[in-house]
Structure 1
Amino acid sequence: MSIYSKILVVADINHDEQPALVRAIQLAKKSASTSHITFFLSIYDFSYDMTSMLSPDERDAMRKGVIHQREIWMNKVAEPYIDDSIEFNVKVVWHNRPYEATIAEVFSGEHDILIKGTRKHDTLESVIFTPTDWHLLRKCPCPVLLVKNEFWPDHAKIYASVHVGSENDTHIELNDSMVERLLEITGRLNAEPFLVNAYPLTPANITIELPEFDPTSYTDAVRGHHLTAMKALRQKHHLCEEQTIVQQGLPEDVIPQVAEDNGAAMVILGTTGRTGLSAVFIGNTAEHVIDKINCDVLALKPNGYISPLDPNIAK
């Protein structure tokens, strides 16, 4: 069965246009097996719980009425995109923390991927990630795809930001996982796959502390190591040299610039931050990169990641 067959899409309550749903449909229709999409919304209105004039039953009835209205609206906005080739359902829940409700639905529905639209700032022409976005990126157990409000052209370019300079097992496994997901998605969406890697600058303090240090030789050696590692990775996954980019600099500078210069439709990132009970952050590098990228972002967790909201964890 293909990956990403059970898709959870978070609805944008403020707009009839639903770019996240459009992207989910694109993935679902190119799946090798029948896909299931759950169109999800978490809503809450403080006033319904604080109205002392109403009985508990009346407040419950009012909440159910609001939920029903939202379900009608969601079915209406989804109708132009849905056909019989996709199993589709709408789900609305009453919860005061959208990210907790969304992650609970990921667990209960065993979804393969979470897709959510992001906000685009009209003046700065950049994507603004909301607090809910960050919570989902940090704590969601499945891959998270944040979509900006643009239609993908044919032969769109998708970049996987790999970390080939490391010999850490987590990084190596995550590199392979990212490339596999890259090839799966580009194959489905008739897009072009690319790998990008940033290697570090020569530390300036070394040349001061060690006068005999040769920064040029050091830089050449580091670049050579990364080029060799990138070659091994691309050959392992049957990609050609033209589909790889290795540049010097910080990842938070290199990756967004490469994405912008090449018109990337999506960047795939590995979030190799903490795992287990301490999985609160996704890693400073990944956060800085995500904050600068002006296109779709797919964030992948490493094997063994345990969400702090996992219901199987003893509280």
Structure 2
Amino acid sequence: MKTILVATDFSVRSDLAVTRAALIAAKSGARLHLIHVVDDDQKPRIVEGETDISKQLLQEEIARLNQTDGLNCTTDVVLGDPFEGICNSADAINPDLVVIGAHRRRALRDVFVGTTAQRTIRRARWPVLMVNAKPEQTYRTVLLTTDFSEPSRMAALHLAGLDLAAPDDHTLLHIIDAPARRLVMSDVLSERQMIRYLAALQIEAEQELKEFAATLPFGDWHGIARQSSAPTSEAVLKAAVEFDADLIVVASQGRVGLSKTFLGSVAEEILRRADRDVLAIPPNLPV
């Protein structure tokens, strides 16, 4: 990893993101590029004043990081909407990783526009890490969701390249989508037929998970395929608590179909509700 971009609005949420990005940079030796976005939809004198203050605060942040971690840091103040500013900055420097803080939940705006995190991931050509938890050490337990699609496989390969945690600390999770539970078929099948149907799905998923893991050329993954009547995102978040995962990894695109998970929508829902860090990896990244 060569460059990490971290966006800060100088809030406590952003402080967590900066701290996590600094931990990753210290481990990888990457350059840490801090940005702050100033809303330019204001009177010029206000924009100018906020820009000057932001530059000063960024320099203070760099001084602190250099003193404690000895990191290679650079900064920039960007004008525009937070989402646009983050994406434009990332376009300019092409980072290996974008780190952002947890969003401030604003129900009405989130429904119609989406959070900065969600909008950034929809647009992103880079892995985006949203930091929710207080960083105290490097990641110990990583939960990687998969629907066995090629984007999901490429996300796993790219995760390995980021080297955020040891390979033996990763768990592959596949949530089995059983359409018969929610379609008319559930009213037609007998209880015995339903049990046999779900058992067959379980066997098929476990075999597919084993074959999927075999395509990953690193370490031994703990593979788990489980059925859930709850939405996939809810099942993933429940599993993250069960396994005490401190990082959830999702591909931002996946299979679409009646019996398959659309990982893009799952990623957005996990980002909205997670109480721990989430890494979303887009497709078509070099490995």
Query: TM-score, structure 1 length as denominator?
Result: 0.73
Residues 16 and 283 from structure 1, CA distance in 2 versus in 1: closer, same or farther, beyond 3 angstroms? Answer: closer
User: Given residue 26 of structure 1, which amino acid in structure 2 is its aligned partner?
Assistant: L
Q: Which segments of 5 or more consecutive residues in structure 2 lack a partner in the other structure? A: 106-112, 256-261
Report whether the alignment pairs 1:151 with 2:135: yes
Question: Percent identity at matched positions?
Answer: 18
Please identify the structure whose Cα radius of gyration is greater: 1
Return closer, same or farther for 1:65/1:114 CA change in 2, 3 Å cut-off.
same
Work out the CA distance in 2 between the residues paired with 1:139 and 1:155: 26
Q: Deviations over 1:111-150 (max 9, x none)?
A: 22210011588xxxxxxx9722221121122111100141
CA distance, structure 2, for counterparts of residue 235 and residue 27 of structure 1:
28
Deviation at 1:260, TM superposition (A): 1.1
Instruction: Answer with 76-85 or 138-147: which moved more.
Output: 76-85
Instruction: Determine which structure has the larger helix proportion and give its number.
Output: 2
Deviates most, 147-156 or 196-205: 147-156
Q: 1:193, 1:70 → 2: CA distance?
A: 38
Could you say what secondary structure the match of 1:228 adopts? helix
Whether contact under 8 Å (1:19, 1:150) holds in the other structure is yes
Structure 1 ranges of 4+ moved more than 6 A: none
Given the alignment, which residue of 81, 96, 111 partners 2:65?
Answer: 81
Equivalent residues, number: 265
After alignment, is 111-120 or 10-19 more displaced? 10-19
* Residue-by-residue CA offset, 1:293-315 (whole Å, 9 max, x unaligned): 221011111228xxxxxxxxxxx
User: CA offsets per residue over residues 241-266 of structure 1, 9 Å max, x none?
Assistant: 6x222110242222100101222111
Partner amino acid, structure 2, of 1:240: D
> What letter corresponds to residue 121 of structure 2 in structure 1?
L
Normalised to the residue count of structure 2, the TM-score between the two structures is 0.80
Between 77-86 and 175-184, report the one with greater CA deviation: 77-86
1:16/1:77 contact within 8 Å kept: no
Equivalent in the alignment of 1:293:
274
In structure 1, the gaps of 5 or more residues are 50-58, 122-128, 165-170, 275-280, 305-315
**Which residue of the partner structure matches residue 205 of structure 2?**
226
Report the residue type matching 1:35 in the other structure: A
> Which runs of structure 2 are paired with 1:5-24 in the superposition (5 Å)?
5-15=2-12, 18-24=15-21
Q: Does structure 1 retain, via aligned residues, the 8 Å contact 2:174–2:226?
A: yes
Alignment of 1:1-315 (within 5 A): 4-15=1-12, 18-31=15-28, 34-44=29-39, 46-49=41-44, 59=45, 63-82=47-66, 86-95=71-80, 97-119=81-103, 131-153=115-137, 156-164=140-148, 171-172=149-150, 174-185=151-162, 187-190=163-166, 192-201=169-178, 203-204=180-181, 205-209=184-188, 214-237=193-216, 238-240=218-220, 243-249=222-228, 250-272=231-253, 283-303=264-284
- Does the residue aligned with 1:145 lie in a helix, a strand or coil? strand
